[in-house]
Amino acid sequence: MSVLVTGAAGFIGSHLSEHLLAKGEEVVGLDSFDPFYDRSIKLRNVASARDNTKYSLIESDIRDAEALDSLPDGVDSVVHLAALAGVRPSIAEPVRYASVNVIGTCEVLEWARQRGISRVVFASSSSVYGNYPEVPFREDATVDRPISPYAATKVAGELTCHTFHHLHDLSVIALRLFTVYGPRQRPDLAIHKFARLLLGRRPIPVFGDGTTARDYTYVDDIIQGISGALDLLRCSEPLFEIVNLGESQPVVLREMISVLGEEIGVKPNLEALPMQPGDVQRTYADVSKARRLLGYDPQTPFREGVHRFIRWLEADVRADSR
Write the CA distances from 308 to 70, 136, 163, integer angstroms: 39, 27, 40
Distance, CA of 246 to CA of 308 (rounded, Å) = 18
Element holding 55 (H helix, E strand): strand 55-59
296 part of the active site: no
Write the CA distances from 219 to 180, 224, 242, integer angstroms: 6, 9, 19
Write the CA distances from 65 to 19, 71, 114, integer angstroms: 28, 10, 11
The per-residue DSSP string of 239-259 comes to -EEEEEE--S--EEHHHHHHH
**b/e burial code for range 220-250 (CB count within 10 A of at least 16 → b):** bbbbbbbbbbbebbeeeeeebbbbbbbbbeb
DSSP summary character for residue 276: P
Distance, CA of 287 to CA of 138 (rounded, Å) = 8
Q: Pick the catalytic residue: 129, 150, 181, 216?
A: 150
**b/e burial code for range 191-218 (CB count within 10 A of at least 16 → b):** bbebbebbbeeeebebbeeeebbbbbbb
Q: Which residues are catalytic?
A: 150
